[in-house]
Amino acid sequence: MKTVLAYLELARPLNGIIAFISAWLGGVFASRGDTENLLDVRLLLVSIAALLLLSAGNAINDYCDYNIDRINRPQRPLPSGRIQRLHAVIFAIVLMVIGIWLGTLISKSAIIFAILVAVALIGYAFWLKRTPFVGNLVVSGLTGSTFIAGGIAIDSVQGTLVPAIFAFLFTAAREIIKDLEDTEGDLKNSVKTLAILNPRLAVGTALGFMALVILFSPIPYLFGWYSWHYLFAVVLGVDLVLIGLAIRLLRDTSKESCAAIQRWMKWDIFVGLGAIYIGIFL
C-alpha cells in the first residue's frame, strides 16, 4: 500500500485532476452547452489522456530533478528512497504510451497532439527546464494546451482559446514564483533560472504576467463572449486575489512567502475556470 501511495505522490494527482478537468472543460466551453458533445466518449478519453500524460511528465521531471529535490523537496518519493529512479522512468513510459494510445481512439489530430505534448514534456524535463524563462513558457503552453485538447476531441477549438490564454498567463506567473521558491536547490545544482540570473527581473516578470491576467480578464465580457456573471466572479475571485498576492510578492520574496503565493495561485485557477463556466452557461 505504501508503494502505491508513493507512485500516486510521484504522479501528483492534484495536478493530474486539474489536467483532467481542464481538458474536459475545454470541450464544455467549445460545445457552448451542446449536450450531445458533452456526452461524447472522446471527451472523456482526451481528459484521461491529459491526466496520464501530465502524470508521466511529473515522474520524468522528478527523475531529472533528483539532486535538486534532495535539497528543495527531500520528502518526495525519489529523494526519500521510496521509489527507485529507474522505476520512475518505467512508470512514466507506461503512462505516456497509454496516453498516446488513447489518442488513437479519438482522431488523427488527437494522436498528433498527444505525441507533441509527450515530446514537449520530455524536452522540458531533460533540457528546456534549465533554459532561463523558456522552460517557464513551455510549462505555461502545455497548461493552456489542455483546454485545446478538449476542443480537438469534439472537433471544435474556437471556444477553448480564452481559457487557454488565461491558463498560459496565470501559469507563467506561478512558474516564475516557483523558481524563486526553489532558488537554494537550483543554485547548488547549477540550474540557471531567471530567478537565479536576475531575481529582481524574475519578480518583475511574474508581476507582469499577473498584471496581464488582470488586464485580459474583462476582455471576454467586453466582446460579449461571456455574461456579466463571469465579470463579477473573475474580478472578485481572481483579480483581487492576484492583486493581494502581487503586493505580498513585492514585500517578501522569501522561500516561505513564494511557496504560499504559488499555492494560492494553484487553487485560484479553479475560481477562474468557474468564472468562465458561469459566464457561458448563466
Confidence category of residue 89, pLDDT binned at 50, 70, 90: very high
In this predicted model, what pLDDT tens digit does every residue of 220-244 receive, in sequence order?
999 999 999 999 999 999 999 999 9
- Segment 18-33 mean pLDDT: 87
Pick the CATH number of 2-281 from 2.60.120.260, 3.30.70.260, 1.10.357.140, 1.10.490.10: 1.10.357.140
Q: Please tell me the predicted confidence (pLDDT) of residue 36.
A: 63
Query: Exposure pattern of 30-40 as b/e (b: 16+ CB <10 Å)?
Result: bbeeeeebeeb
Answer whether 110's CB lies under 8 Å from 149's CB.
yes
Residue 92: alpha-carbon gap to chain centroid: 18
Confidence category of residue 186, pLDDT binned at 50, 70, 90: confident
- Helix, strand counts (H, E) of the chain: 16, 0
Q: Please tell me the predicted confidence (pLDDT) of residue 156.
A: 85
Answer whether 27's CB lies under 8 Å from 38's CB.
yes
Q: Please tell me the predicted confidence (pLDDT) of residue 114.
A: 95
- The domain spans of the chain are 2-281
**Which residue is associated with the grid cell 520512475?**
88
Q: Please tell me the predicted confidence (pLDDT) of residue 35.
A: 60
Nearest residue to 159 via CA among 18, 281, 15: 281
> What is the model's pTM?
0.88
Confidence category of residue 157, pLDDT binned at 50, 70, 90: confident
